Amino acid sequence: LTRWLPRHAMSFQAPRRHYVLLYAGLTAAGDAAQRRGRGQPPDWAQTRRVALLALTFHGNLNYVWLRALERALPGRRPAAVLGKVLCDQLLAAPVAVGAFYTGMSILQRKEDIFSDCKKKFWNTYKTGLMYWPFVQLSNFVFVPVYLRTAYTGLCGFVWAAFICFSQESGDGTVKSAFMWLQREKVNADEEPSQK
């Protein structure tokens, strides 16, 4: 085993299902973290829905999309990297945001499955433009192709916390996401004065 491990450890490429499972697990953890961060009890049914959506759609989309981008625009030349970032933000990001809001509405059995998407899509997409281009720039420059889904999943943990909050009680803007942080600070400041 010790002879085999060093030789093959550097070339290890997990099957697609491992990356998709990792992506789904990190997305579900982002949902649980945002609830905990707001001082709310866990909502395991909601977290399961988030995980199911990430497992069936978002993880697979990222796996296939990132490899397709690499085939279409191979390498780490500045033009190729910027092209990948641009394609990612103009093509995949709108699909991912729309699929999240619509998919969650379907899983929650809402009557109007497009309501959240109509209300929150543009704000969420614009907020994503402040986060994802920087994530994907580092992804396309520093991360090997076979680890890009895992890296996107790790960075997606933060995004999942934001988008899950937005889906439950925000409007898709950064301002709404940080309002609960401000409320936490105000509540912490009030507690000592009440004693």
* pTM, full prediction: 0.84
Half-sphere exposure of 166 (CA within 13 A, CB side): 29
| Residue 56: partners with Cβ closer than 8 Å, 6 or more residues away | none
**Residue 1 falls within a domain, yes or no?**
no
> Which of 44-53, 86-95, 185-194 is predicted least confidently?
185-194
**Residue 8 falls within a domain, yes or no?**
no
Burial class (CB in 10 A: 0-12, 13-18, 19+), 25: middle
Distance between CA 78 and CA 73 in Å, rounded?
11
Higher pLDDT, 6 or 44: 44
- The count of structural domains within the chain is 1
**Residue 75 falls within a domain, yes or no?**
yes
**Residue 123 falls within a domain, yes or no?**
yes
Domain of residue 101 covers 15-32+40-185
**Residue 6 falls within a domain, yes or no?**
no
**Residue 116 falls within a domain, yes or no?**
yes
**Residue 3 falls within a domain, yes or no?**
no
For residue 52, what are its two tokens? 């199911």
Distance between CA 63 and CA 119 in Å, rounded?
28
Helical residues (DSSP H) of the chain, grouped into ranges: 4-9, 16-37, 44-53, 59-72, 78-87, 93-107, 115-128, 132-142, 148-168, 174-194
Task: List pLDDT tens digits, range 60-97.
Answer: 999 999 999 999 999 999 999 999 999 999 999 999 99
Residue 4: predicted pLDDT? 44
Higher pLDDT, 169 or 83: 83
Please, which pLDDT band fits residue 8 given cuts at 50, 70 and 90?
A: very low
